[in-house]
Amino acid sequence: MILREIAHTRSGDKGDTSNISVIAFDPADYELLRREVTGARVKVALGSMVQGDVERYELPQLGALNFVLHRALAGGVTRSLALDMHGKCLGSLLLSLEIEGRRR
């Protein structure tokens, strides 16, 4: 299955740093998210768009993960030539990530 089946995302920007929250629809799927959606996998999934490191923060009480993507916005909204200069679409792209496992 793909991530979209068990979680929703929202993207935000600050300077050249993007963040993507990944939130389980059902908190019971949080452990599956935690296991499957690692910082390394997020970096691979977004490929060359993310030039820097990816950090992951865990929010078990929300059933959510927060990814911080460094150097991911082509210099930041004020300088970027990207069509989506805020990286607003990054979270939606991540929803196609393949997830191994069974939802609760």
Chain positions contacting other proteins, by CB under 8 A? 4, 8, 10, 12-17, 19, 21, 23, 25, 46-49, 55, 57, 59, 61-64, 66, 68, 75-79, 81-84, 89, 93
Could you tell me the smallest distance in angstroms from the CB atom of residue 32 to other proteins?
17
Least separation in angstroms between CB 27 and other proteins? 9
Task: Please list, residue by residue across 34-64, b when 16 or more beta carbons sit within 10 angstroms of its beta carbon and e when fewer do.
Answer: bebbebebbbebbeebbeeebebeeeeeebb
Residue closer to other proteins by CB (options 15, 101) is 15
User: In whole angstroms, how close is the CB of 71 to other proteins at the nearest point?
Assistant: 10
Contact 49, 11 (CB under 8 A): no
Token pair listed for 83: 């069509």
